Amino acid sequence: MKICKSVLISLITVVLSSCASATNLAEPLSISTPDIGIPIQSEKYLEVTAPNGWNSFKTSEPISLEIRNISNNQITSGPDFGARIFVRTDDGWIEVKNKEGYEYELLTLDPSENYDPLKTAATFVLPDLPDYSVRSYIRIFVVGTLIDNGKESKMVASYIDLELNP
């Protein structure tokens, strides 16, 4: 009986660690953040992760993002969370198209002080990269609308940096 419990606990630990919200963060980027017309408030309103267990981080494959509302108010957005994708080049950031298609649906994220998978949203992006045969460093912005006292108050944004390999 003890062996069964030990095996079960080990199996659960392995499964949970593979689904953890760790991300394939790109190396530190020294090029300044592109201006998307919305002040970036990383770690204030939205938390964006690309869980390792959900992604291959290959240049030709979609990227799954998990988004969590870390504010005290509801945040609404479309199914793509207003995703804007930029690729790092020698000359700075260039914006690329998101090739993923979406059916419109307004999503509402409730505040989530502690991680609660039922209070997160997932979306996919598929960057239209200039060259899929080389390593790419990308920055993905997500955007939502903060709801304050039942009314839309302001746009909020956050981003994640990722390294994609051929």
Closest listed residue to residue 80, CA positions, set 31, 122, 134, 28: 122
Share of the chain above pLDDT 90, in %: 60
pLDDT tens digits, 64-88: 999 999 999 999 999 999 999 999 9
Quickly state the pLDDT bin for 117 (edges 50, 70, 90).
confident
Neighbour tally for 8: CB within 10 Å = 10
Ranges of each domain in the chain: 22-164
**pLDDT category, 2, cuts 50, 70, 90?**
very low
Please state, in angstroms and rounded to a whole number, the distance separating the CA atoms of residues 136 and 87: 7
Q: Is there a contact between 72 and 24 (Cβ–Cβ < 8 Å)?
A: no
How do residues 122-138 score in pLDDT, each as one tens digit? 999 999 999 999 999 99
Given a contact cutoff of 8 angstroms between Cβ atoms, the answer to whether 149 and 88 are in contact is no
Asked if the 22-164 domain carries CATH number 3.30.60, the reply is: no
Distances, alpha carbon 36 to alpha carbons 20, 40, 83, 119, 133, in Å = 29, 9, 11, 26, 28
Distances (CA, A) of 119 to 40, 47, 115, 138: 22, 12, 8, 26
pTM: predicted TM-score of the whole model, two decimal places: 0.78
Question: According to the model, what pLDDT value does residue 104 have?
Answer: 83
pLDDT tens string 18-28: 444 444 444 44
Phi, psi of 55 (to 5 degrees): -130, 150
pLDDT band for 29, please (50, 70, 90 cuts): low
CA 134 to chain centre: 22
Residue 30: the pLDDT is: 60
